A and B are shown apart, each in its own frame.
Chain A
């Protein structure tokens, strides 16, 4: 029986990794994961070491300084890898990317894979995005659950997750790869850098990082302006029926 070619390719041209920690951020509620990941990349001066491409990807290339680049990037330094998407992942693309990221992480013998995202919350909407957010964590095995205890994130005791991060956890479990998802209470439809700060504050102890989040808070207004177009695209990608269309949610 002929084998189907992979529909998603993870291309990593960086130096060999040895049990890295991997952080994954894709555009979802409040762009919390993408804002947090981009900030970490810049603060820790991580270098681009690969990209993810797919037949299911919309016809988008990102242009930076006149050079065309894939919209899903892999950055890294030492044993930290950050994967960021600059396009929303809808429909089949969402779970195909999750599947290949899980397989790739397993191939690197990753220590822990951490998805970071926002979870729209009424409390956050009522606070109008002001102040910090509560962060909850979900792990897929004993190792990740133990690790999450160092993050300060509250346990996500019972509930349902859908979308990209649910797929990521599922495929990490299939690969027997330790994984976790941190969800910060966030605005649903507006960029929420404050929630990204809360994510970074949970990641610091979890992965022994030293990322100073002060500049992110200071530049929050400009970041909200700069990311509004991606937020619009993300809203469109998640409508009308979020779960079927690749949008994510988590609720208790």
Chain B
């Protein structure tokens, strides 16, 4: 796969659009593994499902691998173009990323065999049914008394 670079061509275009704004200062980017950029993500938990969403701009659907276990969701995705993130001394110290990589620990247990995923616009949504779905609890009490208003 031919890998272009957002820093040459693409990155220059973006710099023209955003001259200096939003340039990362290094910071948390130092904490990331070599060439594996952590995608933005969110986890939503409902009564029946856990939905994990990853923002992976610049990848094609066929270059995304999602792996689920009972309590984790992992993503590996190869970028169409590498992304150069400017650290301090941008040209010398910048980091180049060619893929996304992230593992999320889920807050509840899920059934990975029944999961579904959909990909559009560089966003992947993984929906997994919960294993620990709550059961409806019947409430007993003096309903009749209240209904009669006595």
A215 at the interface (CB under 8 A from B): yes
The chain B residue sitting closest to A86, CB to CB, is B21
**A221 to B19, Cβ gap below 8 A?**
no
Contact A190 B28 (CB under 8 A): no
Asked if A230 and B22 make an inter-chain contact with CB atoms under 8 angstroms apart, the answer reads yes
Binds A, one of B7-15, B63-71, B108-116, B136-144: B7-15
- Nearest CB of chain A from residue B127's CB, rounded to whole Å: 12
- In the complex the two chains form, is B57's CB within 8 Å of A215's CB? no
Smallest beta-carbon distance A40→chain B, Å:
10
Whether A224 and B13, one on each chain, are in contact in the complex, defined by CB atoms closer than 8 angstroms, is no
Task: Kindly state the separation between the CA atoms of A189 and B54 in the bound complex, as whole angstroms.
Answer: 10
- Residue of A34, A218, A228 with highest tally of chain B CB at under 10 A: A228
A223:B120 contact, CB within 8 angstroms: no
Q: Is A222 an interface residue (CB 8 A)?
A: yes
Tell whether, in the assembled complex, residue B40 and residue A226 are in contact, meaning their CB atoms are under 8 Å apart: no
Q: Is the CB of B24 within 8 A of A229?
A: yes
Could you tell me which residues of chain A, from 153 to 194, have a CB within 8 Å of some CB in chain B?
187-191
Q: Are A219 and B22 touching (Cβ within 8 A)? A: no
Question: In the docked arrangement, what's the CA distance between A220 and B121, Å?
Answer: 10
**18 chain-A/chain-B pairs, Cβ below 8 angstroms:** A38-B22, A42-B18, A62-B25, A63-B23, A84-B21, A86-B22, A128-B125, A129-B121, A190-B53, A190-B55, A221-B58, A221-B122, A222-B58, A222-B83, A223-B17, A223-B18, A226-B23, A231-B40
Interface residues of B, Cβ cutoff 8 Å to A: 6, 10-11, 13-14, 16-25, 27-29, 37, 39-40, 42, 53, 55, 57-58, 83, 88, 118, 120-123, 125
Q: List 6 A-B pairs, minimum CB-CB distance, nearest first.
A: A64-B20, A224-B57, A190-B55, A221-B57, A128-B123, A128-B120
Known: A63-B88, A224-B57, A228-B39. 8 other contacts (CB 8 A): A38-B17, A43-B17, A62-B20, A130-B121, A222-B6, A225-B37, A225-B57, A225-B83
